[in-house]
Amino acid sequence: MTHQPSWTRRRFLGSLAAAAALGAEPPRRLRVAAVYTVFRRRSHAFNILENFLEPYLFDGRRIDPGMDVVSFYADQEAPERDLTQEVARRYRIGVYRTIAEALCAGGRELAVDAVLSIGEHGEYPVNDLGQTEYPRKRFFDECVAVMRRAGRYVPLFNDKHLSYRWDWAREMYDTSRRLGLPLMAGSSVPLAERRPTLELPADAVIEEAVSIHGGGVESYDFHGLEVLQSLVEARRGGETGVASVEFLQGDALWQAAEQGRWSIPLAEAAMATELGRSVPLREVRGVREGAAHGILLTYRDGLRGTVLKLGSGTTRWNFACKLAGDPRPRATHFYTGPWGNRNLFQALSHAIQHHFREGRAPYPVERTLLTTGLVAAAMQSRADGRRLETPHLQIAYTPRDFRAFRETGATWRIITDQTPEPAGLNPGAR
């Protein structure tokens, strides 16, 4: 396998020596602003930033990020748990009262080359649909305002879905396209190693697909939708969008299976990749206790998609699909590795750094736009108790960039489950 060149510390120092020998300027390290809700141990800010502040293990190699975090903005700072001030002192990072000040690094003009916008965790309102109202749109708007004044638009990464409101998410996407702002978004889960390895044939015709997670409503449903979308978007004709969404739970979910609206055998094939054996779906621990719900999707091109919450567990990410003319299911487990989701955030950070260097996301932001709209529609369907038609989700795109990114070996994989866990960021150490 050919690997994408990476800025290991040795390679970076070697480039400095080579540049000096030639009398050339050494490569400039990018300056990054981090805008986040909270910075607690193992929060999303922690899990991403540790791979920007220190070298990290990726695909069996030790990687220097090749860029420096120069400013912090914390939307909420709890002194007894927050790490903002401690980490800022250790790494000599400025902490600023506003997003504008952080992007200007205390000056009056845009002073960074890229922005990490991490709007996850913290104490924020939960609306009637069960959505946490994270300030991702506000973060985006304030960043754009600084860039607009400077007349320069730098790459921005938005953690997880764009917004809890569809109209705001669409506005964020449209604004980025209109201004030429390189935007990347989404979560770490689609970057996990697939066990067994699964790459669907080019131009595959997929009749039905199932994604399974073990987490909570909305926040983990988004991850399940991303797992589904990361594979089905490569089907023949590319992505065409979704025509309807329906949230089902309890007896209604199983009745829909009996009516042939989603496939229990396909879901069992997906679960078998995680469990190592075939188990009747209702015998999976937690399913019999009623802890199950599903989101049924009808795509505009006829594909049927289902996201299931079965049992419990924050590392359950399974997928299966049926291809036209092939009775055998294609199935895989998105494996998180020996250190839990820390592995996934290493892969995500690697992809973000690619985005910051290249000014181009390694996979389509349209995927996150679509999954943002899907999870919002699912929560509305849950509240209304009915299927929703979704003409606003006629979002078409092709995933060529991500296929090329995967072919470089740039998605994280386990070399060995006995690989020692790296030290990384160690709060409290002196």
CA-wise closest residue to 97 among 131, 73, 133, 127 = 73
Looking at residue 79, its pLDDT comes to: 65
Instruction: List, in order, residues 6 or more apart from 366 with CB less than 8 Å away.
Output: 173, 239, 395, 397
Question: Which domains occur in the chain, in start order?
Answer: 9-190+342-362 (3.40.50.720), 192-337 (3.30.360)
How much is the pTM? 0.89
Do the Cβ atoms of 236 and 399 come closer than 8 Å? no
Per-residue three-class SS string for 176-240: HHHHCCCEEEECCHHHCEEECCCCCCCCCCEEEEEEEEECCCCHHHHHHHHHHHHHHCCCCCCEC
Over its length of 430 residues, how does the chain's per-residue pLDDT go in tens digits?
A: 333 333 344 444 555 555 555 556 667 899 999 999 999 998 999 999 999 999 988 877 888 999 999 999 999 987 678 999 999 999 999 999 999 999 999 999 999 999 999 999 999 999 999 999 999 999 999 999 999 999 999 999 999 999 999 999 999 999 999 999 999 999 999 999 899 999 898 889 999 999 999 999 999 999 999 999 999 999 999 999 999 999 999 899 999 999 999 999 999 999 999 999 998 888 876 676 657 899 999 999 999 999 999 988 888 999 999 999 999 999 999 988 777 778 889 999 999 999 999 999 999 999 999 999 999 999 999 999 999 999 999 999 987 655 555 544 444 454 445 566 666 776 654 3
Instruction: List, in order, residues 6 or more apart from 161 with CB less than 8 Å away.
Output: 136, 169, 185, 186, 222, 368, 371, 372, 375
Looking at residue 336, its pLDDT comes to: 83
Looking at residue 11, its pLDDT comes to: 47
